Amino acid sequence: MADMSTGAPSQSDSSALTICCPTDASLNRVPLSRLGDGPKCGRCHSLLFQATAVDLTRENFDKHALKSDLPLVIDLWAEWCGPCRMMSPNFEAAAAILEPRVRMAKLNTEHEPAIANRYGVQGIPTMIMILRGREVGRISGAMPTGSIVQWVEKQLQSL
């Protein structure tokens, strides 16, 4: 695994990470040394890091959550939820700060209740960090950008 705070490989790491494309969900191998160089998808040629949260659906969820080597930070939300709407721009701003160390994503619990149920989500907004399918952190409640970034940084330090 790479040291996600610096992008440097750890002793047991290979020289590349598998990154899921935010546009077409194809899997790409990206050398650790190139993470910050604006890597593009080998299939659709979109930027792999777009400084915005990816919308998760049942079609792309497992590729992002299970097959990517990047920690996935998911904002679970719903349109009717006032605190969720209040937090949304903060989460987007955090994506621009935290990429390429993590993939920020949003999951509408009204559109994808089965995924929310899989992770036992009982209240929204909730943020969950997942690494290769395993939940490594969770927090609930609306947060400002700085608090989102701090929470993610703390989770990365524990990996």
Catalytic residue positions?
Answer: 81, 84
The beta strand positions in 42-122, using DSSP E, are: 54-55, 72-77, 103-108
Q: What is the DSSP string of 15-26?
A: SEEEEE-TTT--
Q: Do residues 5 and 101 touch, judged by C-beta distance below 8 A?
A: yes
Angle between helix 145-157 and 82-98 (nearest 10): 60
Residue 8, both tokens: 């440097």
